[in-house]
Structure 1
Amino acid sequence: MKTIMTIRKSINKARSKFYNKVTSYTFMKYSALFVLIGYILLLIVGVIVAALLDPDGYTIWDNWISDLGSLNHTPTPFLYDIACIIAGSMTLPLTFYMENLLAPLPYYDKNLLNKQHYSRLRFRLSSFGFLFSIIGNFGYIGVGIFSADRNYQSLSILGEGPHNIMSYLAFGGFTFGAFFMGWLIVLYKTKIPKILGIYGILGPLITAILNLIYSTPLLEWFLLFSILLWIIPLSLFVLYKPGLIPR
């Protein structure tokens, strides 16, 4: 029994150490920078290759984003697959870090001699933002794993292949993650510009609704751009704005 307790204690300690490591500012910073450079570069190169070598000609107004992961449109579908996996996995530290930044657990401030705490609404907005962002993270990883060429119908659910399901999870997750996190930024003091919070509430959601109504390749690209216009400025503010950088 004592041995089991010792093992359990060691596992919990290792898990806590790992969590603190991957959610630290330093780890989050390098992960975010890797995404900002690696993902965008792979996406741009993938589009250029497809535009030059697709027999039918690849354009963002005629082709779906997922066509970048199909041999029918590009000789290098792996570029987009890798980009999706990188973006989904390497933004996980940012997701965890944002939860801790925007609504940290209550703590005792020795300088103020009182317990710091936040409202229930703030925690709920943070929790919903975190949950949907995590869904978006894993959904985007899934898009890279189950590309357009690996949209196995044997794994279909309600008539939708795994690629389509993962796309819904990725776009839906990031859209609602921005929505709830945007409300938190607007309603509370976070040192993040409220104009960015307003955009997080409206930008991706409006584009997603238009995409659901009209469903065109160009609108799908606009949805991706609207999400990037949320994530990139948010990342840069968290990484470089004085007051948000831990000392």
Structure 2
Amino acid sequence: MSIRQSINKARAKFYKIVTNFNIVKHCAFIVMIGYVLLLIIGVVVAAIFDPDGYTIWSNWISDLGSLNHTPVPFLYDIACIIAGSMTIPLTFYMENLLAPFHKRTQSTGEHFSRLRFRLSSYAFLFSIIGNFGYIGVGIFSADRDFENLSVLGQGPHGIMSYLAFGGFTLGAFFMGWLIVLYNTKIPKFLGIYGILGPLTVAIINLIDSTPLLEWLLLFSILVWIIPLSLILFMKEEFRPIE
């Protein structure tokens, strides 16, 4: 077997695993329960032990990963790594479910839409960037924001934060357009929210960033991902076409 064949075989095996319905479902529930629970615990602990008192309107999310604000910064680090890694299967699953592959459109007699293909590709690309960006936030926490790795004045933590929030926001934006413009069987109102919700909060953050606005951006992304996951798992027709 050639190197190329080995790579293609490994890639196909990986793709089959990450688009498996049960794996995607379990990973999504780990995020909805594990990540959210760790986040809440982290905030409560920080609120109790932070010398200045931790609140979501006066402290950045990243403060949860700093010993200056909490005795257990690793909780937020773990939460970020869980959220980033466990949403990777959802990203692949949505692309597999909604992208208008030639093979699929030919078998069903549907018209192959280049716009739909581009929207699904952009949604996939930016969602993957968000996935790995959030993993990076957990690895390069506020306490591990190494100055020698800074780029354009931003340490690795800041860079990963931009990638995470920007990736998830633009992923929701393009996926939202895909839902609104095409018959995906996902409610149109969720698509409209995907287009406007996270992006609006992100733009306001860029204009005048505050801790509360950063938290609102996180909440706006969760309000996109969690309902999308629940809708996906509640309807049988959202299983991928083999």
Query: When the two structures are superposed, what TM-score results if normalisation uses the length of structure 1?
Result: 0.93
Counterpart code for 1:92: I
- Assess, with a 3 A threshold, how the Cα gap between structure 1 residues 194 and 153 changes in structure 2: closer, same or farther: same
1:77 alignment counterpart: 73
Q: Which residue of 2 aligns with 1:229?
A: 223
Question: For residue 45 of structure 2, what is the aligned residue in structure 1?
Answer: 49
The 5-angstrom pairing of residues 2-81 of structure 1 reads 5=2, 8-81=4-77
Letter in 1 for 2:65: G
Could you tell me whether the CA contact under 8 Å between 1:107 and 1:115 is conserved in 2?
A: no
Structure-to-structure mapping, 1:60-139, within 5 angstroms: 60-107=56-103, 115-139=109-133
CA distance in 2, matches of 1:227, 1:160: 23
Structure 2: runs of 5+ lacking an equivalent: none
1:84 maps to amino acid: C
What is the identity, as a one-letter code, of the residue corresponding to 1:173?
A: G
Contact 1:107–1:116 (8 Å) recurs in 2: no
What is the CA distance between 1:17 and its match in structure 2? 1.8
Structure 2 residue 144 is the aligned partner of structure 1 residue 154: no
Determine if contact 1:35/1:90 at 8 Å carries over to the other structure: yes
Q: Deviations over 1:110-136 (max 9, x none)?
A: 9xx754453000000000111100110
Residue identity matched to 1:186: V
Q: CA RMSD in A?
A: 1.7
- For the residue of structure 1 that corresponds to 2:26, the secondary structure is helix
CA 1:224–1:9 in 2, change beyond 3 Å: closer, same or farther?
Answer: same
1:198 paired with 2:184, answer no
- Report the alpha carbon displacement of residue 102 of structure 1 after superposing the two structures with TM: 1.1
Instruction: Give the distance between the partners of 1:150 and 1:242, measured in 2 at CA.
Output: 44
- Cα distance per residue 1:195-224 (max 9 Å; x no partner): 000000000011001111111100000000
Cα deviation per residue 1:47-90 (whole Å; 9 max; x = unaligned)?
Answer: 00001111110000000000000000000000000000000011
Instruction: Give the aligned residue type for 2:15.
Output: Y
Q: Deviations over 1:171-211 (max 9, x none)?
A: 00000000000000000000100000000000001100111
Find the counterpart in structure 2 of residue 167 from structure 1: 161
Q: What is the deviation of 1:15?
A: 3.0
Residue correspondences, number = 241
Partner SS, residue 243 of structure 1 = helix
Change (3 A) 1:152 1:188: same
Tell me by how many angstroms 1:103 deviates. 1.2
Contact 1:105/1:117 (CA < 8 Å) preserved in 2?
A: no
Structure-1 separation of matches of 2:42 and 2:66: 11
Q: Distance in 2 between matches of 1:109 and 1:131?
A: 22
Structure with max Cα Rg = 1
Cα deviation for residue 10 of structure 1 reads 4.2
Gap change, CA 1:109 and 1:125, over 3 Å in 2? closer
| Structure 1 residues not aligned, in runs of 5+ | none
Cα distance, 1:109–1:123 mapped onto 2, change above 3 Å: closer
Q: Equivalents in 1 of 2:83, 2:108: separation in Å? A: 40
Following TM superposition, where does structure 1 have runs of at least 4 consecutive aligned residues deviating by more than 2 angstroms?
7-15, 106-110, 113-118
Mapped partners of 2:138, 2:7: distance in 1: 31
Residue 11 of structure 1 deviates from its aligned partner by: 4.4
C-alpha deviation, 1:12, in angstroms: 2.8
How far apart in 1 are the matches of 2:104 and 2:59? 54
| 1:34 Cα offset (Å) | 1.0
Cα distance in 2 for partners of 1:226, 1:9 equals 42
